[in-house]
Amino acid sequence: MKSQCRLVLNGKLVEARAGESLIDAALGGSILIPHDCRSGQCQSCRVTVVSGSVDDGGSGHGRTVLACQAAVAGDAEIEFEELPLPTKRACAVTEINELSPEIAEVVLTTSAPLDFRPGQYVRVKFSGYPAREFSPTFRLDGSFRQVELVFHIRRLPDGTVSGQIGKAIRPGHAAHVQGPFGQAYLRQGQGPLVLVAGGAGWAPIWALARSARSSQRNREMVVVAGSRDADNLYMLPSLQWLIDDGVRDVIATTEVGSTLPIRPGRPSHYLPLLGLEDTVYVAGPVGLVDIVTNKARSANAQCYADPFLPSSQTPSLMDKITRLWRSREQPDRPGL
C-alpha cells in the first residue's frame, strides 16, 4: 500500500495519506463530509465508494462506508450528498403542549430559519441543562412555520432534561440549537416508501411522511406507527391527516388496550412484504429499529434507521455535574 494516495471527493481531487480517515483526508483538502459523532453511531458520514481501495473499518454496507471509520487504502473515488451544514441558532421555548401522558410537544422560536432535511435531527441545549438530540417535525395538523422548530419529547421521570419539560423548562426559557445531523432524511425516488415509528420516533417519521406528500406525491406510501399503550398513541391526528390526504395504507398499533381500528401488537408485526423497490425509514426504540432494519436488509430493501436511546439510561459526566449543581442550587429556606 502506497503512502500517498489520490482521492476524488465529489469530483474534487485531494492528496491523502494512507491510513487516515476519509473525514480527515477530506478536511485536509478543505472539503467537509457531513458528520457529527465521529464514533460510527450517528451514521451522518456515510459515503459511497465509486471506485478504488478503501479500508471500511467494519462499517461497510453495500458500496457505502462511514467516513469516520473508513481509512484511505489507495487511490479512490468517493461520492456523498452535500447536506445543509450544521449551524447554531439562538431560540426560546414558545409553546409546550401535552400530546399524551408521556409525550410533550415543545415549540422553539429561532432567531433565523434553520435549514434541515425531513428526518434529520438537531442538538438542543436548554439554558442550564446539558444538550440533547431531537428531530424537528411538523405540528400534528401538518402545519409548520419557518422560524419554529417543533419537537415531540418523551418525558422520563428521572430525565435530567425531559423530566423538567413543563416544570423548570417553560415558555420563555432560553435555548440554542445546533444542526442538522443524520442520514435518515427524505431522498428523491420512485419506489414505495415504508415508514415505521414507535413512540416519539413518530417525530422524524411524521416529518418524512408530511414532506413526501408535498414533494413526492406520486410515491406509494405505507405508514405504521405505534406505542406501548393506547393513552400514548399521540400520533392519531397526524395519521388521520395522512388518510384524509389519500394515503391508503396507514396502520396504528398498541401493545396494550387496542380497539379497532387500532391493531394489537408492535409496528414490526404489520410490515408489508418488502422488496428491492422499497425504501424503508424506521425510528423509535432500538428493539423496533433492529427488527425492521434486519427485515429490510433480508429483502434487499434500502433502509434508513434512527434508533432512539434514552439519555437517562447512561447519564453522562455532564448530566451528573448538572444534577449535582442544581441540587446545591436549591434554597435552604422554604418559600425563597
Tell me how crowded residue 190 is: count the other CB atoms within 10 A of its CB.
Answer: 10
Q: What is the pTM of this model?
A: 0.80
Q: What is the DSSP string of 267-290?
A: GGGGPPPP-TT-EEEEEEEHHHHH
Residues 196, 268: contact at Cβ < 8 Å? yes
Written as tens digits, the pLDDT of the chain (336 aa) is: 678 999 999 999 999 999 999 999 999 999 988 887 788 877 778 899 999 989 999 999 889 999 999 999 999 999 998 888 889 999 999 999 999 999 999 999 999 999 999 999 999 999 999 999 999 999 999 998 999 999 999 999 889 999 999 999 999 999 999 999 988 999 988 899 999 999 999 999 999 999 999 999 999 999 999 999 999 999 999 999 999 999 999 999 999 988 989 999 999 999 999 999 999 999 999 999 999 999 999 999 989 999 987 664 444 444 444 444 444 443 333 332
Selection from 69, 137, 77 nearest residue 107 by Cα: 137
Domains of the chain: 4-79 (3.10.20.30), 87-182 (2.40.30.10), 193-307 (3.40.50.80)
